[in-house]
Structure 1
Amino acid sequence: MLLAATHSVSGGSEIRRADSPRLVDLVHATQNSVDRLNAQRDGLAAQVDSTHGASAGTALAAMLARAGELAGEAGLDPVHGAGLVVTLSDAQRDANGRFPRDASPDDLVVHQQDIQAVLNALWSAGAEAIQMQDQRIIGTSAPRCVGNTLLLNGRTYSPPYTITAIGDANAMRAALAAAPLVTLYKQYVVRFGLGYREQTQTDITVAGYTGPVRMRYAQPVGPVGY
């Protein structure tokens, strides 16, 4: 009975084969993997130390110093100087409390494309910093129309919309005069009473951006077909 049970379990082969894995071998293999990963970790830590210093405090100080150097270019620091202030506003009723008869509701309000046209013209003229309402405009800022209000970085604003730009005021005025969409808006100013004003100022202040600066981007979820 014992021999028959052994034959049934072994299937005709040896129960204790020389090539079967042993627990001690598995432990040794795992330990070797851990040692290899520890060595890799130590190498990366040495690389960080050699780049930023020999301590975590030194590394953090170096990263903060680098962040401080980039803060100005990223729009995080306030800026002041000479520049131009542009104000856009919705149409106002005339003395009789009426709008032009042939005007549609869309003709009487400032739209996203109007604001974007002004911003693009100012950037093209070399504006150093731009602020809209009380917020700094940076690379990730996107003014959006929501009904008759404006959404900017999660906050809503009502007209008038004030755009403050630091830079060469004459160059920015010329860029605004040459921008086709700004020219179209000015035609609506004459025809339907929209508001538009440019003011040159010798000392204005543009706030630093205070919102989150974490970048978000899309990632492919599978093979891309062409």
Structure 2
Amino acid sequence: MRRLRRISLWRVGAPLALLCAGLLFATSATNARGTDLRPSRNTTLAGLVEEQSRRSASLVRQHAALTHDIEALQAQQGSIDPKLAKQFEDLSEQVGTRPVVGPGLTVTLRDAPPEVVKENPDVDENWLVIHQQDIQAVVNALWAGGAEAMTIQNQRVISTTGVKCVGNSVVLHGVPYLPPYTISAIGDRRKLQKALDDSQYIENLQDYVVKFQLGYDVKSESSMQMPAYEGTLDLQSATVPGYERTPSASPSVSGR
């Protein structure tokens, strides 16, 4: 009797165990959606940033290719007046949609080295990293020094370019970047350097360069090439400094 009871329990328990295992496998497959559930190096912040950067760069290349095709089709519709064509070229260079070459400066900003961070555990970690304000200070100084064109992380800077901190990365044109950060400007190198030296913010940054070994290097370039901006030029919103922003009423709300 005891043996018969053991056999009957096995016959009942085995199908239940197999059913539970099947549900577990199905749940894992659904959650994974074809990916590995085991954490890997790609799940680190640096890996995610690099992956997003590659994806964004691919989309930018697709956008540039489509824009080139549109321009080619427009050219087939008929010739453009030479004066308008010249004006278009001049404006394209000013806007940043044409590549440029010339002398200038490259500024490189870096976070404090890891050993400095370990040696200063009581120091506010915000003092040991490069922030968007530091990048913007360099950019503003170079514009004030007469920069004719500029890039950040080899991305062309235009009138709507914004720099924003997200965690320990900086987002530019929707793409996250990790340090070091490079800002290059084409123009008169002496005037650009003087503008950097005259910047009060950069002078304050130099204190942290000395105390905590933040990276701040300036390199003179006899000739540098800057790519054209290949993203969208659409302006989402803008305000005039000194004027209160008044939201516009939606036609569906106002009934007009």
Q: Distance in 1 between matches of 2:231 and 2:88?
A: 15
Shift of 1:68: 3.4
Separation in 2, partners of 1:198, 1:166: 13
SS of residue in 1 equivalent to 2:230: coil
Which of 100, 103, 127 matches 1:82? 103
Give the alignment partner of residue 138 of structure 2, picking from 118, 129, 142.
Answer: 118
Compute the TM-score of the two structures, normalised by the length of structure 2.
0.59
1:157 aligns with 2:185: no
Percent identity between the two aligned chains: 40
Match of 1:72 in 2: 93
Q: Could you list the runs of 5+ residues in structure 2 that have no partner in the other structure?
A: 1-75, 239-246, 251-256
Deviations, residues 80-103 of structure 1 (Å, cap 9, x unaligned): 1110000000000338x8233442
Cross-structure match for 2:249: 221
SS in 2 for 1:174: helix
- What code does the residue aligned with 1:72 have? E
Map of 1:201 onto structure 2: 221
Superimposed CA distance per residue, residues 2-36 of structure 1 (whole angstroms, 9 cap, x where no aligned partner): xxxxxxxxxxxxxxxxxxxxxxxxxxxxxxxxxxx
Structure 2 CA distance for aligned equivalents of residues 92 and 86 of structure 1 = 18
Aligned partners of 1:191, 1:208: CA distance in 2, in Å? Answer: 38
TM-score (norm 1): 0.67
The aligned residue for residue 59 of structure 2 is none
Distance in 2 between residues matched to 1:133 and 1:157, nearest whole Å: 8
Do structure 1's residue 129 and structure 2's residue 149 form an aligned pair?
Answer: yes
SS in 1 for 2:119: coil
Secondary structure of the residue aligned to 1:94 is helix
- Residues 162, 192 of structure 1: alpha-carbon distance in 2 compared, 3 angstrom cutoff: same
Quote the residue 2:70 is aligned against: none
